[in-house]
Amino acid sequence: MRNHMETTKFVVATHNVHKVKEFQRILAPLHIDILLPSQCGGENIDPVEDGETFEANAIIKATAFAKALGMPALADDSGICIDALGGAPGVYSARYSGGSDDDNNELVLKNLEGVPYEQRTARYVCVICCADPDGSYFTVRGECEGIIGFEYRGENGFGYDPLFYMDNGKTFAEISGEEKDVRSHRGKALRLLAEKLAEKQ
């Protein structure tokens, strides 16, 4: 893979503005310009995420965008794995219920009915793939342990954040974006990504 520091522009293979903001906060010190697909003609790129792992889906997305747009691409595949549900929803986190984030959270709560607090352990997982147009790529992975609570708390974040309780008793939805970057699966993966990109400087 060539030196990524030769360019400051990366397209992020997502239409999720929340994810983009997290990418921007972590990668800003590297002077990396994060672009949405709509900013570089990639709004119609929609690869089928049919991988069985977070790694597979991240690779599918990043390599498709890099090849189609002729520029380095970053893609993240992430989700929540709940032990009492056998690791579900996992790679299906975003489409667990077939509906909205609220629908997904309600289905999790329904499926965990009767499960005591100490058995509601879960972890957020994030895999980020960095791909070049020549087909080369690498991945990094971050994880964050927590507990699925019985009720929603907090107004920040997205996805399962209002139900994901950390060891300090707060949910991901109750903390600032900056604190979330320090603790979260995506923050950990992005810092690993930043380290790898800096090595190529």
In which band, very low, low, confident or very high, does the pLDDT at 4 lie, cut at 50, 70 and 90?
very low
Q: What is the pTM of this model?
A: 0.88
Flag whether pLDDT at 33 surpasses 90: no
Average pLDDT, the chain: 91
- Residue 18: per-residue pLDDT: 79
Catalytic residue among 33, 46, 76, 77: 77
The residue segments making up the domain with residue 85 are: 4-199
Average pLDDT over residues 15-19: 80
Q: Tens digit of pLDDT for each residue in 67-91? A: 999 999 999 999 999 999 999 999 9
Give the sign of the dihedral formed by CA 103, CA 105, CA 111, CA 113. negative
> Which helix (H) or strand (E) segment is 105 a member of?
helix 101-111
User: How many domains does the structure of the chain reveal?
Assistant: 1
pLDDT in the model for residue 201: 61
132 included as an active-site residue: no
Please report the beta strands in the chain, taking only residues with DSSP state E, as ranges in sequence order. 9-12, 33-35, 73-82, 121-131, 137-148, 164-165
Residue 2: pLDDT over 70: no
Average pLDDT over residues 95-124: 97
The answer to whether residue 200 scores a pLDDT higher than 50 is yes
pLDDT value at position 31? 80
CATH code (residue 8): 3.90.950.10
- Rounded Cα distance between 171 and 164, Å, is 5
